[in-house]
Chains A and B, each alone.
Chain A
Amino acid sequence: MATRELMYREALREAIDEEMAANPTVFIIGEGIAERGGSYKVTEGLLAKYGPKRVRDTPIAEAGMIGVGVGAAIAGARPIVEILYVDFAMLGMDMIVNQAAKFRLMTGGDGRVPFIMRTQGGTGGGVAAQHSQSLEALFYHIPGLRVVMPSTPADAKGLLKYALRQEDPVMFLEHKHLYMTKGPVPDGEHVVPFGVGDIKREGSDVTVIAWSNMIPRTLEAAEALAAEGINVEVIDPRTLVPLDRDMIIRSVLKTRRCVIVQEANRRGGVASDIASIIQEECFYEMDAPVEIVAGMDIPVPFNLTLEKASVPQKEDVVAAVKRVLHLQSLAAAAE
Chain B
Amino acid sequence: MGAAATLQNAPSREFLEKLFRTAYKIRVFESEGIKLYRQGLIRGYFHPYLGQEGIATGVCAALSEGDYIASTHRGHGHCIAWGADVRKMVAELLQKETGYCRGYGGSMHIADISKGNLGANGIVGAGTPLGVGAALANQVKGSDAVTVTFSTDGASNNGTFLESLNLAAIWNLNYILVVENNQYAVSTRIEESTRETDLYKRGLAIGVESHQVDGNDPLAVHAVMEQAVATCRAGKGPVLIEAKTYRHMGHHVNDPGKYMPEDELAYYKARDPVDRARAALKEMAGVSDEDIAAIEAEIAAEFADAVEFSKNSPEVTPESFREFAVGY
Residues of chain A having any CB pair with chain B under 8 Å: 24-25, 27, 53-54, 56, 58-59, 61, 63-77, 79, 94-95, 98-99, 103, 105-111, 143-144, 242
Contacts and interface: CB of A to CB of B under 8 A. Distances in A.
B313 to A, nearest CB: 13
B103 to A, nearest CB: 7
B140 A25 contact: yes
Contacts of A79: 133, 136-137
B167 A77 contact: no
Contact of B134 (A53, A75, A108, A109): A75
Contacts of A111: 111, 113, 119
7 contacts: A61-B167, A63-B129, A67-B128, A67-B132, A95-B126, A99-B121, A108-B104
Contacts of B305: none
B98 to A, nearest CB: 10
Contacts of A63: 129, 159-160, 163
B130 A74 contact: yes
Given A74-B130, A105-B104, A242-B327, A64 B137 contact: no
B140 A53 contact: yes
Which 9 pairs from chain A and chain B are nearest by CB?
A71-B133, A67-B129, A64-B163, A108-B102, A71-B130, A77-B137, A75-B134, A68-B133, A108-B101
B105 A98 contact: no
A72 B136 contact: yes
B157 interface: no
A30 to B, nearest CB: 12
Interface residues of B, number: 45
B130 A144 contact: no
Contact of B129 (A25, A70, A108, A144): A70
A72 B119 contact: no
A98 B126 CA distance: 9
B118 A64 contact: no
B267 interface: no
B139 A53 contact: yes
Interface in B88-111: 99-105, 109, 111
Contacts of A70: 129-130, 133
B172 to A, nearest CB: 11
Contacts of B68: 75
Contacts of A107: 100-101, 104-105, 109, 111, 113, 119
B66 to A, nearest CB: 11
A306 B168 CA distance: 44
- Chain B CB within 10 A, most for which of A54, A65, A74, A76: A74
Interface string B151-173: 00000000110011011001100
Contacts of A67: 126, 128-130, 132-133, 160, 163-164
B8 interface: no
A180 to B, nearest CB: 31
A24 B137 CA distance: 11
A106 B101 contact: yes
B75 to A, nearest CB: 12
A95 B128 CA distance: 11
A72 B113 contact: no
A206 to B, nearest CB: 31
Given A68-B164, A70-B129, A108 B100 contact: yes
Contacts of A59: 163, 166-167, 170
B101 A25 contact: no
